[in-house]
């Protein structure tokens, strides 16, 4: 049997050596010493072969806009939201498309082949939604772009936002979003969670809320999200993004909360680069780092993936689309430095978010022929070095190659 593409001599994230044979856009075989012919044979040279990187939380309508129209001086979430409101009035649909495509190219070069992006539906022009729907079409077949109808200015706080969420879903946006901690009152926040979950259940969709992105330990919308997930039958289809207030909650309350999240099978998506940047800004010392309780969520059996969230936008001046940067920061902030924990952190930017997005990614027969060859020898080595992605394969086609930079040592010692 002749395959379309055969990648030989790779090392998988679990440390096993294998060849990977691909045909018709799917992985056909993963085993050592495949001898069948293939139209193209590539030698991995003992380097790490990984499932694609997946970013489960991003804002593609705002990316690459840093400094427009001004810089976030306080570094807070709230000033970022005000700044984004100013930018929304100034940008065209074409601006958003151009910036998003530029970002997609950078991310694909880093081995990212799927992104869940929230898209602001409170932009009355609907430029944001129409732009990202266009981008989703243009990158289809190379990058899976899943869109979340996100009422940035509040489901109830922003007039007409609830109708705009529905309008965005009708236009083809995939997932129901929300931001309960930004509503005017805790009661409005709880009502927004209920409305989002009911809408998702009615339409058979997933729901992914910006939930408790706050240092306020009494911001407890995750409790309502878990409860509503059970009531609406959304187990496994609901996600709480950020969950930063859990960092500051009382341990006794968290001991009750964690089993509820597990029972509801609500996924958690912390965003380490952004959470430690935006949170703790009103603290003196010690300053809270603001990331949710990742090891405790994992120990409770919750599905947890790391997201990028922002790259060069009103909330964050840096970022590169490299999910290894995200995992590198995440494992530091979460104290995940044992070998097993670091391998888990690698999964949290590859296999785990693919599961949350419902993607058929993985390095087993029957999975899509999408993978990344890295200039590293193990998952931990990749986290340490964040090396070049030598080869990025999407649906059986090579879509990006990177030649690693080399250093010529001229010192004499």
Within residues 57-76, the interface with Fe ion by CB under 5 A covers none
Nearest distance, CB of residue 362 and Fe ion, angstroms: 26
How far, in Å, CA of 264 to CA of 267, rounded? Answer: 9
Within residues 309-328, the interface with Fe ion by CB under 5 A covers 309
How far apart, in Å, are the Cα atoms of 224 and each of 151, 189, 228, 313, 325? 18, 9, 6, 30, 32
How far, in Å, CA of 162 to CA of 187, rounded? Answer: 16
How far, in Å, CA of 155 to CA of 98, rounded? Answer: 28
Within residues 253-312, the interface with Fe ion by CB under 5 A covers 309
Nearest distance, CB of residue 228 and Fe ion, angstroms: 20
Comparing CB distances to Fe ion, the nearer of 329 and 369 is 329
Comparing CB distances to Fe ion, the nearer of 74 and 337 is 74
Query: Which of 213, 223, 296, 364 is flagged as catalytic?
Result: 213
Nearest distance, CB of residue 353 and Fe ion, angstroms: 14
Here's the x/- map for Fe ion, 114-143, by CB under 5 A: it reads as: ------------------------------
CB atoms within 10 A of CB 257: 21
Comparing CB distances to Fe ion, the nearer of 209 and 383 is 209
How far, in Å, CA of 242 to CA of 95, rounded? Answer: 28
- Helix H or strand E encompassing 112: strand 112-120
How far, in Å, CA of 203 to CA of 86, rounded? Answer: 33
| The pair of three-digit structure tokens given for residue 311, joined into one six-digit string | 């790259």
- Helix H or strand E encompassing 323: helix 323-333
| The pair of three-digit structure tokens given for residue 114, joined into one six-digit string | 């799927």
DSSP secondary structure of 180-207: GGGSSSHHHHHHHHHHHHHHHHHHT--E
| Residue whose CB is nearest to Fe ion in the complex, by number | 309
Nearest distance, CB of residue 42 and Fe ion, angstroms: 37
Count residues binding Fe ion (CB under 5 A). 1
Active site residue 223: no
272 Rama sector, left if φ>0, alpha if ψ -120 to 50, beta otherwise: alpha
Cα Rg of the chain (Å, integer): 21
Nearest distance, CB of residue 119 and Fe ion, angstroms: 11
Percentages of the chain per state (helix, strand, coil), in multiples of 5: 35, 20, 40
Comparing CB distances to Fe ion, the nearer of 19 and 55 is 55
Comparing CB distances to Fe ion, the nearer of 59 and 367 is 59
Comparing CB distances to Fe ion, the nearer of 3 and 84 is 84
Nearest distance, CB of residue 315 and Fe ion, angstroms: 8
Site residues (vs Fe ion, CB under 5 A): 309
The set of catalytic residues is: 213
């Amino acid at each position: 049997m002749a395959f379309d593409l055969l990648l030989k001599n790779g090392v998988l994230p679990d440390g096993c050596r294998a060849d990977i044979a691909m045909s018709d856009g799917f992985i056909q075989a993963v085993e050592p010493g495949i001898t069948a012919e293939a139209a193209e044979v590539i030698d991995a040279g003992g380097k790490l072969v990984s499932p694609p990187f997946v970013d489960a939380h991003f804002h593609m309508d705002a990316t690459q806009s840093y400094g427009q129209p001004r810089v976030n001086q306080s570094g807070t979430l709230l000033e970022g939201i005000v700044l984004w409101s100013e930018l929304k009035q100034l940008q065209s649909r074409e601006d958003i498309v151009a910036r998003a495509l530029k970002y997609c190219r950078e991310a694909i070069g880093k081995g990212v082949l799927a992104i869940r992006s929230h898209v602001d539906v409170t932009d009355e022009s609907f430029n944001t939604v129409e732009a990202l729907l266009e981008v989703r079409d243009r990158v289809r077949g190379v990058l899976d772009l899943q869109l979340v109808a996100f009422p940035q200015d509040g489901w109830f706080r922003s007039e007409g936002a609830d109708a705009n969420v529905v309008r965005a879903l009708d236009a083809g946006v995939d997932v129901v979003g929300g931001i309960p901690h930004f509503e005017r009152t805790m009661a409005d926040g709880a009502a927004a969670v209920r409305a989002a979950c009911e809408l998702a259940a009615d339409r058979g969709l997933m729901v992914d809320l910006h939930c408790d992105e706050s240092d306020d330990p009494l911001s407890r919308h995750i409790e309502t999200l878990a409860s509503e997930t059970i009531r609406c039958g959304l187990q496994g289809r609901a996600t709480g993004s950020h969950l930063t207030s859990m960092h500051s909650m009382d341990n006794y309350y968290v001991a009750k909360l964690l089993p509820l999240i597990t029972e509801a099978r609500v996924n958690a998506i912390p965003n380490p680069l952004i959470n430690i940047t935006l949170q703790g800004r009103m603290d003196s010392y010690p300053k809270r780092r603001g990331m949710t309780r990742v090891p405790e969520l994992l120990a409770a059996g919750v599905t947890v993936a790391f997201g990028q969230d922002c790259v060069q936008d009103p909330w964050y001046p840096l970022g590169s689309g490299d999910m290894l940067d995200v995992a590198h920061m995440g494992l530091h902030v979460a104290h995940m430095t044992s070998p097993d924990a670091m391998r888990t952190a690698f999964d949290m930017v590859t296999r785990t978010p693919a599961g949350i997005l419902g993607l058929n990614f993985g390095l087993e027969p029957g999975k899509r022929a999408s993978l990344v060859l890295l200039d590293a020898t193990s998952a931990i080595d990749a986290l340490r070095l964040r090396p070049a992605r030598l080869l990025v394969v999407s649906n059986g086609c090579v879509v990006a190659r990177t030649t690693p930079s080399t250093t010529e040592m001229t010192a004499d010692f």
